[in-house]
Structure 1
Amino acid sequence: MTNPTSASRQIAIIRARWHANIVDRCVDAAKADLEAAGFQVDIYDVPGALEIPLTAKKLAHTGRYAGIIGTAFIVNGGIYRHDFVSATVIDGLMDAQMETGVPVFSTCLTPHNFQEVPPMIEFFEKHFVTKGEEVAEAAIETINLYAQIEAEETAKV
């Protein structure tokens, strides 16, 4: 199990490049909020959502990161159904955090219906800004909580 120390202020963001114009809104918002809170953010690009879980696990095993965020925009179409891809990615992210002890957060989101038309693209670009802010807040709160738990355990010794 990999356990970064409470002093670790590094977070990795893994972003899928499908629909990069939407995904990057989330990444930019999360990165800005995390850096404002004193975290260093490293960004890793993967082709699609299915590559995120293994990348998260490999990054967690390095011991460098206090948390890892995966972000993707998973739409229906092509060979794989979006619900299959989404479930597979989320299960993989959960496995990565449970195996490594490093919290892994997800903004791998699947719209119910999506069509590449300007109003929908604009809606999801704005929506992913909000999701970036929310995932940054969740990461900060969780990492701070784990640091507090670690400090309490260290004080008992």
Structure 2
Amino acid sequence: MLQTVSTQKRIAIIRARWHANIVDEAVQSFADEWTAIGRSRSDIEIIDVPGALEIPLHAQSLIATGSYDAVVACAFVVDGGIYRHDFVAGTVLDGLMRVQLDTGTPILSVVLTPHHFQETEVHVRFFEQHFVTKGKEAAAACAAILEARARLMVSVM
């Protein structure tokens, strides 16, 4: 018996609001690329959290609802002088990986941390464009992993 695989997928995009102008570039480019590859904008739900550290727990809570096929995490973590930004980014990524493995739901990361960032026009423009690229890449990767998982599920049945 031939199994059909639904192409309707729900994607949660969790975005941190620190440096929202930069993070929003990834979210918008994800949505643009998602539709460019033939998917529906209505597949995407955008959820805001204050900062990057809140993303893993929120991802876990959203996945527990059973409403999402994948989660995309978006944040821009910079050195604020209080603690090392690489520690925060590493903690977030470790948490996301744990949630992904514990739940079996794909989580894609657009949680990026630069070695050097200053709130100058040049740096802001550079990272806004970089997040556009990363949003597009995340959309393509999300579609690919969902298709791979769908094929896996069909072959198991």
Calculate the TM-score normalised by the size of structure 1: 0.91
In structure 1, the gaps of 5 or more residues are: 1-5
The SS at the match of 1:56 is: helix
**1:35 Cα deviation after fit:** 3.3
Find the aligned partners of 1:96 and 1:79 in 2 and give their Cα distance. 27
Residue 149 (structure 1) aligns with: 152
What amino acid is the match of 2:131? Answer: F
Amino acid corresponding to residue 120 of structure 1 in structure 2: H
CA-based RMSD: 1.1
**Structure 2: which 5+ runs fail to align?**
none
d(CA) in 1 for partners of 2:47 and 2:82? 25
Question: What does residue 52 of structure 2 align with?
Answer: 49
Distance, in Å, in 2 between the alignment partners of 1:34 and 1:68 is 14
- Which digits, 9 at most, give the CA deviation of each residue in 1:78-97, with x for residues without a partner? 43310110110000000111
For 2:104 and 2:81, how far apart are their aligned partners in 1? Answer: 34
Selected match of 2:100 from 97, 116, 133: 97
**How many pairs does the alignment contain?**
149
Q: Among residues 129, 136, 145, which one is paired with 2:139 in the alignment?
A: 136
The equivalent of 1:61 in structure 2 is: 64
Residue 73 of structure 1: how far off its partner (Å): 0.3
Q: Contact conserved, 1:35 with 1:41, CA < 8 A, in 2?
A: no
Which residue pairs with 1:26 in the alignment?
26
Aligned pairs (5 A) from 1:3-18: 7=6, 8-18=8-18
- Asked if 1:35 corresponds to 2:38, the answer is no
Structure-to-structure mapping, 1:68-107, within 5 angstroms: 68-107=71-110
What is the TM-score with the length of structure 2 in the denominator?
A: 0.91
